[in-house]
Structure 1
Amino acid sequence: MSAKHRLYRVTFMNQGQVYEIYAREVTHGGGMLGFVEIGKLVFGEKTTVVVDTSEEKLKNEFADVERFYVPVHAVVRIDEVSKRGPARIVGGVDGGSKVTPFPVYNFGGDAKK
């Protein structure tokens, strides 16, 4: 598969939910240490008759986004795939997902002395 036609399935945590999206570009965050840069998102064709509501929700959420950055600890997995599946929100922490988020520590003022 040529670099121009590479396709990635990116699974990541976002506000307690597991997102699964498809993109043509996935790189380290460039100048943003600790982030994964995701660009050229790929969604289903607008000509299809069957409408997947979860994919439509994600398409609307990322409508004007050219690229976005995900913290490395929020990335569950990145796969290079040969064909696109549906972009979807798989589940969440309370939604029956088998994905457990990486613990986030508060280094601020909540610690008791």
Structure 2
Amino acid sequence: MSRRKRIYRIQFVNQGKVYEIYARGVGQPDLYGFVQIEGLIFGERSSVVVDPAEERLKAEFAGVARTYVPLHAVIRIDEVEKEGVAKITPLAEGAAKVTPFPMPAPRPPGGE
């Protein structure tokens, strides 16, 4: 029985844009309020057609072993059959003007 490797598509908001990236691992780190993404996957460099958006993402995440995205910035995480093209797209008109109100971290019940 062959074990297939998991691939995740992660969409999150960063500086008024929606990032869509692919990774081999997603989890909850020791940093409260963040999602850990590791094993970033980008398209083959031997491809004849070059996508400028994907090249920009490759350059931005060059040398990154794992990245931590704030939980409130994550839009969606999907487990997919195979990786697609990583991309950056602008938010819908007017959506970039709304900033989420910072919420304090919940405290455990009882005690200080």
Say yes or no: TM over 0.5: yes
Q: Deviations over 1:51-80 (max 9, x none)?
A: 000000000000010001001100000000
Aligned-pair identity (%): 51
Larger Rg: 2
Unaligned runs of 5+ in 2: 105-112
Alignment match, 2:61: 62
Question: Structure 1 runs of 4+ off > 6 angstroms?
Answer: 99-102
Q: What's the RMSD between the two structures over aligned residues?
A: 2.6
What residue number does 1:19 align with? 19
Gaps spanning 5+ residues in structure 1: where?
108-113
Distance 1:47 1:41, change over 3 A: same
Cα offset for 1:104?
2.8
3-state SS of 1:90 partner: strand
Rate the CA distance shift 1:9–1:100 in 2: closer, same or farther, 3 A.
farther
